[in-house]
Amino acid sequence: MIGNIIAGISGVGLPPGLSVDYLVVAGGGGGGTCVNNNAVGGGGGAGGLRSTVTATGGGGSLETALNVLLSTNYTVTVGAGGASDISGNNSVFSTITSNGGGFGNIYSAQNTGGGSGGGASVSGIGAGGTAGTGTANQGYNGGAGTAYAGTDNAGVGGGGGGAGANGSAGSDPNGGNGGNGVAVSITGSSVTYGGGGGAGGARNGAAGSGGSGGGATGSVGPFNVSGGSGTVNTGGGAGGGGGVYSNGGVGGSGIVILKYPSTNTITIGAGLTGSTATAGGFTVATITAGTGNVSWA
């Protein structure tokens, strides 16, 4: 009897809610710059990936769907990708934050952690920093750099970490490949997100390839050849620069996808760019840019 009274009091005035599945992918990290022939740029790390459907990032267990109240605003931010030598930006849904990918290392700036870590850069004699580390349950580590054994004394960088795998180490004279992303079926179709960026390649070598899920390929010189840019709305890491004065590319922007029963309706507020599609008794809201609020009725 007492328990029933307490339960009744606790429910007075509380609006009904619903359970929302989500995919929150942050912006990918920018590729590292190659400032001279001695150390090419590492690949950018993928944006962190948190998901309640199919799989989540970093090899972690699936996240738990978020219970939301009706007629209540919840913040959504879609993180932009980072420019050359800059980490990606976080993406947010309410209390869920995915961390932006670490930028690909350059010789003077090392160990850039993030949702997935940026790949290392290393000089020809092996000096330089370690790869960036990924965030638990969001992404993996970047790959190591390797000293170049050839006559030009250059070093090769590591690939950026992906949501699904570590970036690979550079291998004389080739840049490391970006780690692969994670396939998620929250929209009803399997789409891969969160690929790491490939490192730039040393002279006479090859650039690293981007990981599946929007990761970009690095570049090879000799001069002013920028790394590739991550694919928009995948959180893919950018490719590192591989020629003298070659910039890294720009990381791919993130995305926020929300799935809920189609008996409810969502309001996507000002400042956000998004759309909805309904199938099988559920509605999927895909938000591709901006910062603002969402609410349900």
Boundaries of domain holding 232: 18-297
pLDDT of residue 13: 43
pLDDT digits (tens, 9 = 90+) for 212-226: 999 999 999 788 889
Q: What percent of the chain has pLDDT over 90?
A: 71
266 is a domain residue: yes
Q: Mean pLDDT, to the nearest integer, of 72-100?
A: 97
4 is a domain residue: no
94 is a domain residue: yes
43 is a domain residue: yes
Match 């969402």 to its residue by tokens. Answer: 294
**CA–CA gap between residue 183 and residue 53 (Å, rounded):** 10
Closest among 70, 73, 27, 10 to 193, alpha carbons compared: 27
**CA–CA gap between residue 236 and residue 163 (Å, rounded):** 9
Reply yes or no on whether the pLDDT at 202 is more than 60.
yes
pLDDT digits (tens, 9 = 90+) for 234-243: 999 999 998 8
pLDDT digits (tens, 9 = 90+) for 132-183: 999 999 999 999 888 766 655 567 889 999 999 999 998 878 899 999 999 9
The structure tokens listed for 297 are: 């009725």
198 is a domain residue: yes
238 is a domain residue: yes
The structure tokens listed for 60 are: 């972690």
Reply yes or no on whether the pLDDT at 258 is more than 70.
yes
268 is a domain residue: yes
Domain count for the chain:
1
8 is a domain residue: no
Characterise 238 by phi-psi region: left (phi > 0), alpha (psi -120 to 50), beta (else).
beta
Closest among 251, 296, 253 to 103, alpha carbons compared: 251
